[in-house]
Amino acid sequence: MQFEPTSIPDVVIITPTVFGDDRGFFMETYQAQRFGAAGLPFIYVQDNHSCSLKGTLRGLHYQIRQPQGKVVRVLEGEIYDVVVDLRRWSVSFSQWLGIELSAKNKKQIWIPPGFAHGFYVLGEMAEVAYKATDYYAPQWERTLLWNDPTLNIPWPIPKGQTPVISPKDMQGTLLSDIEVYEQDIK
């Protein structure tokens, strides 16, 4: 398993070692000792699994209280995964990072608590699984507007197409007006 830092401190790309042969493949997607040695949490309280159709855009979600750290991976299909740092004290506050995750490349991303998260489905469909460090708390969920002009995220939406977005996500809040994390979340 390889743990690769990114341009945003604390966000890490995880690439499992894949053992393949003519029968298929095997890989570890999580191993507590290796995660701990890489400085990542090794206790997760919830596993989530979603399926989304082509052109779906989910996010950008976060919880202002009970913030969730997440390890995200794609089981089938491919997505463009985006995280936005909402930790006001961070040197990377308001910066975003986008990465392609797919069943083919098998990469995972560690998203620390304090980040908004979302993704856009690139293929016909995508099944996404993620481990979370805290429980889902709908009363604390917030949505950062996916197309906030100050973030200027270049979502890979084909020209002339409109993404499929939930009414809740369409009503997201601009970065300038959103609740952010004012103190360290350790």
Residue 117 appears among annotated catalytic residues: no
Residue 30 appears among annotated catalytic residues: no
Residue 55: count other Cβ atoms within 10 Å of its Cβ: 16
Give, rounded to a whole angstrom, the gap between the first and last alpha carbons of the chain: 25
Q: Which of 62, 80, 120, 130 is catalytic?
A: 130
Q: Which of 44, 61, 120, 181 is catalytic?
A: 61
- Tokens encoding 90: 């961070």
Q: Where are the beta strands (DSSP E) in the chain?
A: 2-5, 12-15, 18-21, 24-27, 46-53, 57-63, 70-76, 78-85, 96-102, 108-111, 115-121, 125-132, 141-143
- Tokens encoding 153: 């995220």
Phi, psi of 115 (to 5 degrees): -120, 145
Please give the positions annotated as active site: 61, 130
